[in-house]
Structure 1
Amino acid sequence: MPDIVVHDATLLTVDERNRLFERGTLVVEDGTITEVRSTGPDDTALDADHVIDGDGALVMPGLVNAHTHLELTPLLGAFSDLDLLEMMGSMTAVYTQFADGEFDYLIEAGYELAAYNGLAGGITTVNSMDVRPGVGAETVGAAGLRGFLGPAISDLFWDRPVDEQFDRAREFVETHHDTYGGRIRATICPHDDWSCTRELWERTADLAAEYPDLLVHTHLLELDESDSMARANGGADSTALLSDVGLLDDRLVAAHFRIADEDDIRRTAEAGAGVAHCPSVFCYWNPDPSTQWTPVPELRAAGVDVGLGLDDHYWHDSYNLFGEARQARLAANLERGRGQFQSMELLRMLTVDGARALNVGDEIGSLEPGKRADFLVLDVDAPKFAPRTNLPAQVVNQAAPADVETVVVDGEIVVEDGTPTRLDGDAIQQRAEAAVERFVEETDWDLDVGGGDPPSAVATAREIDKRGPARLLSRLAIQSARDRFSL
């Protein structure tokens, strides 16, 4: 007997032909999709453990959050009204304290809150780089999500012995990879191309060679300093450096890719690497209107799989991954002119292209027989969706977490009637509120319903690692002089 049957629903398959069934049936057995077809006259009588009448509903693949950081979730609202330097300084100080083992209660509450709200909003897969991801692997797995997680590694961002960081990364892999029925997978996470030395990249390549089935997840070409640091590390630019050390391949997931040029796009396409685009965080914090945006149209035209991510969702106070599709469209149109994306392209970036960027496009991301059953049911029988024309456009332009009725991951219903089934929302809310109250008591942060103020600049500087950032700034200054004088 099937596990789940959905009948009489609008099915948006996001398969290679982007098939849409106005009245369709989806059948799931043993966690796998076995049938996707038009609803027949007898389908209402089909027997299954769970039968969902899809009249007035749209069924589509689950959303893939292709790049994010989950630990600081309880601090939604804390950074929202700061300027960029205040935000970066305050955030870096908190991360430094995380690395020192402080505020575990905040991390625990953060992963719970992120898992609950992510699932309720239709997210079925997350790819998260964090400082202390061990708790996250357990929380995300227990919640029923599919997760890629790993500890960030950097030798210039914080003052942690590199050997210790790699030992921690290896321990995380050995403990958490391929757990929860294969839903939780470890990743190797060199933090970025502006705070890692060539030596760290080479050690990362060695670790990746030890675990050839793991993704390498990093921030790449995010800042103007990215290529400068690559040159300081002996590379022509960032993608050339990663190619030199053997990391530019189909296991690489590069977040942001904002300042990529034609050579970067060509190399990335040839290597089969994936890219995660996070438009909202840059729209929110972009300090310069002339700043280049991630060249998503060119990446897609070159054949690069580009997914969408929320990045640090607590920097822009949103769990709404649907909203990233709309923001990607608006940002691209603002920079390049209207019509940069068709709605179906954006829908694919939310689902199957994100899955492909994470190297699991053959497992999830579309509604096709043989794939794992990760999907969501949207209530589109509402005035906001009337008339129900061009549903792909309506989904990417106005769908919201509140429209999600049901979420299925790996064939299990993990959200029913809009509520996660494995998690206690009231208890999670209470723990998050208690964690923030304790955080405020233990720090100089001022957070309440009216807003928030971080510690003073002096107090913040006291908490930030000094040796690593000093080496980083020194390297960038020397390379800037070399570039200026063509040395």
Structure 2
Amino acid sequence: MADKVIQSGTVVSLDPEIGELEEADILIDDGEIVEIGQELSTSNAEVIDATDHIVLPGFVDSHIHLWQTQVRGIAGDWSLMGDYFQDMLGNIAGLYQPEDMYLGNLFGSLEKLYTGTTTAMDWSHAINTPEHAERAVDGIKDAGLRALYAYGPPGNDAETWWFGSSTHHPEEHVKELRDEKIADDDLLSLGVALRGPDFTTEEVARSDIELARELGVVATIHMGAAQWTSSEYNPDYQGFGAISDLLASDVNIAHANHFSQEDIEHAVDQGVSFSATPEVEMQMGHGIPVTGKVLEADGRPTWGVDVCSNISGDMGSQMRIGLQVQRMLENQTLLEGGEEVTSVNLTARDTLEMATIEGARALNMEDEIGTLAPGKRADIIMIDASDFMTAPSHSPIQTAVFQSDPSHIDTVLVGGEIVKTDGELLNPKVNEEFARFVQSGYRLVEEAGLDL
């Protein structure tokens, strides 16, 4: 039995046993994929016509700050150390009220769904009060996005929470949020967004990871970007070694641009995942994305958008930019050595997997999402391959990575529920809350007194 069938599509499962199938069907029942094949029996199932469409697993964004959505378009000329810390974390974040968190997360999640991302790790670090976290989660819920909500620090108390901080993560608030808002929701899971040894004492960095482990959740940590480790900001910085013995597959590290190859190899060996956010990192001065070092260590990085006050929430952009930057770096090494470039190493499939199954692994969700296979949740996107910008589609993976944009993603399902069809989101809150969302953004920027 099935309640829905995606019929006659080009299925790119990313599952090594299923592979790619032409004119294939996907049977869905109770939010789960039950069968993939050709000419499947579909009696009484709702038919979703996938003719001339590429059918893929939904994208997984492994690192984004959804709360910044209504201040999008202000950080496009910012650096990390000269502007972002001062104007975003040191100013705007402290102005956020709980309802601003709701609206930012609601429309950030809706943007994710519209652009084909069905799951995101929301690194939420404007938690000025417990209610801020509660309303942030409400925004994700009301959008219908699958998410790992990573509970972070407040954004209104830099002296206490940043740069050599001895303040521990708010354990009781985290537990309350889990028990009251997340535990009974099929689409939501909990994580903790930790400052780590770049911003705290060694004792706090270690105890915060131990808290995450006690809770049984993913710990995601900002580390190794720009000059965070400078003695100017943290004179007692202990570096990677402060937590190296605590690393495991339940730890995700964002950025890590300046990690040594030795440290990367140790982390990969312990099962740590790395979130690279190439577009933001290249602009803001984080350093070269960690992609190459992770690959050299026989690991695979994941992609994230990061700062949506700066760039679009579209994961397709990160797939392309991250891939091409790494290709450029590898090519330049050959050219500087007097060699011609006669092939490329990373492929379109590699970057697509980094945006799907690798992201799922980073969130410890690889058994649920990230590929299309029986038993997995039906988080699925469909790309129109008949458009004048996408046809003819000689390689469905290359069409998806290089030739399509969000306007070509005309159908999106999360847990078997259709959230976008015929290119339009179905959620009524897109219109119901839009005016409040815009007003929130204007008010925050005005109160911050920014000269844009």
Q: Name the TM tier (shorter chain).
A: 0.7 to 0.9
Where do residues 148-297 of structure 1 align in structure 2 (5 Å cutoff)? 148-153=148-153, 157-159=158-160, 162=167, 165-181=170-186, 183-211=187-215, 213-226=216-229, 235=238, 237-238=239-240, 240-244=241-245, 246=246, 248-286=247-285, 291-294=287-290, 296-297=291-292
Tell me how far apart the structure 2 counterparts of residues 169 and 210 of structure 1 sit (CA, whole Å): 12
Where do residues 100-179 of structure 1 align in structure 2 (5 Å cutoff)? 102-130=96-124, 131-132=126-127, 133-153=133-153, 157-159=158-160, 162=167, 165-179=170-184
Residue in structure 2 matched with residue 401 of structure 1 by the alignment: 406
- Deviations 1:304-358, CA, capped at 9 Å, x for gaps: 3421110012212x12111101000221123221624101001101111110121
CA apart distance, 1:18: 7.1
CA apart distance, 1:423: 3.8
TM-score, normalization by structure 2: 0.87
CA apart distance, 1:394: 2.1
Tell me how far apart the structure 2 counterparts of residues 144 and 227 of structure 1 sit (CA, whole Å): 41
Alpha-carbon contact 1:305-1:357 (below 8 Å) kept: no
Tell me how far apart the structure 1 counterparts of residues 193 and 257 of structure 2 sit (CA, whole Å): 19
- Deviations 1:82-131, CA, capped at 9 Å, x for gaps: 45513432112235515xxx433332221121111111111110101112
Tell me how far apart the structure 2 counterparts of residues 441 and 249 of structure 1 sit (CA, whole Å): 43
2:65 to 56, 69, 87: 69
SS of the residue corresponding to residue 16 of structure 1 reads coil
- Structure 2: 5+ residue stretches without partners: 128-132, 332-340
Tell me how far apart the structure 1 counterparts of residues 345 and 293 of structure 2 sit (CA, whole Å): 10
2:361 to 352, 356, 363: 356
CA apart distance, 1:48: 4.1
2:316 to 304, 319, 322: 322
SS of the residue corresponding to residue 216 of structure 1 reads strand
> Judging changes above 3 Å, is the alpha-carbon distance between structure 1 residues 323 and 383 closer, same or farther for their aligned structure 2 residues?
same
SS of the residue corresponding to residue 97 of structure 1 reads helix
Residue in structure 1 matched with residue 349 of structure 2 by the alignment: 344
CA apart distance, 1:407: 1.0
Tell me how far apart the structure 2 counterparts of residues 405 and 48 of structure 1 sit (CA, whole Å): 24
SS of the residue corresponding to residue 385 of structure 1 reads coil
- Deviations 1:344-396, CA, capped at 9 Å, x for gaps: 00110111111012111111100111111111111111111122112212211
Number of residues of Structure 1 aligned to a counterpart in Structure 2: 429
What percent of counterpart residues are identical?
23
CA apart distance, 1:424: 2.5
2:75 to 59, 72, 79: 79
> Judging changes above 3 Å, is the alpha-carbon distance between structure 1 residues 428 and 283 closer, same or farther for their aligned structure 2 residues?
farther
Q: Which moved more, 1:86-95 or 1:353-362?
A: 86-95
> Judging changes above 3 Å, is the alpha-carbon distance between structure 1 residues 30 and 97 closer, same or farther for their aligned structure 2 residues?
same
Alpha-carbon contact 1:230-1:241 (below 8 Å) kept: no
Amino acid at match of 1:80: G
Alpha-carbon contact 2:10-2:23 (below 8 Å) kept: yes
Alpha-carbon contact 2:111-2:313 (below 8 Å) kept: yes
1:50 to 41, 46, 51: 46
- Structure 1: 5+ residue stretches without partners: 446-452, 455-487
Tell me how far apart the structure 2 counterparts of residues 373 and 231 of structure 1 sit (CA, whole Å): 45
SS of the residue corresponding to residue 362 of structure 1 reads coil
Tell me how far apart the structure 1 counterparts of residues 93 and 392 of structure 2 sit (CA, whole Å): 51
Tell me how far apart the structure 2 counterparts of residues 18 and 94 of structure 1 sit (CA, whole Å): 50
Tell me how far apart the structure 2 counterparts of residues 164 and 275 of structure 1 sit (CA, whole Å): 22
Residue in structure 2 matched with residue 476 of structure 1 by the alignment: none
Alpha-carbon contact 1:323-1:397 (below 8 Å) kept: no
Amino acid at match of 2:440: A
Tell me how far apart the structure 1 counterparts of residues 233 and 16 of structure 2 sit (CA, whole Å): 38
Tell me how far apart the structure 2 counterparts of residues 228 and 269 of structure 1 sit (CA, whole Å): 27
Alpha-carbon contact 1:72-1:106 (below 8 Å) kept: no
Tell me how far apart the structure 1 counterparts of residues 367 and 236 of structure 2 sit (CA, whole Å): 36
> Judging changes above 3 Å, is the alpha-carbon distance between structure 1 residues 327 and 47 closer, same or farther for their aligned structure 2 residues?
same
- Deviations 1:175-231, CA, capped at 9 Å, x for gaps: 3333322x21111221243212112113213312421x2000111222344387999
Tell me how far apart the structure 2 counterparts of residues 23 and 89 of structure 1 sit (CA, whole Å): 53
After superposition, the CA RMSD in angstroms is 2.6
1:300 to 295, 298, 311: 295
Tell me how far apart the structure 1 counterparts of residues 384 and 297 of structure 2 sit (CA, whole Å): 36
2:90 to 89, 93, 104: 93
CA apart distance, 1:67: 0.5
Tell me how far apart the structure 2 counterparts of residues 33 and 22 of structure 1 sit (CA, whole Å): 18
> Judging changes above 3 Å, is the alpha-carbon distance between structure 1 residues 2 and 441 closer, same or farther for their aligned structure 2 residues?
same
- Deviations 1:67-86, CA, capped at 9 Å, x for gaps: 11011111111222345513
Alpha-carbon contact 1:190-1:196 (below 8 Å) kept: no
Tell me how far apart the structure 2 counterparts of residues 104 and 56 of structure 1 sit (CA, whole Å): 44
* Residue 438 (structure 2) pairs with residue 433 (structure 1): yes
Amino acid at match of 2:27: V
* Residue 380 (structure 2) pairs with residue 385 (structure 1): no
Alpha-carbon contact 1:154-1:200 (below 8 Å) kept: no
Alpha-carbon contact 1:3-1:48 (below 8 Å) kept: yes
Tell me how far apart the structure 2 counterparts of residues 22 and 429 of structure 1 sit (CA, whole Å): 40
TM-score, normalization by structure 1: 0.81
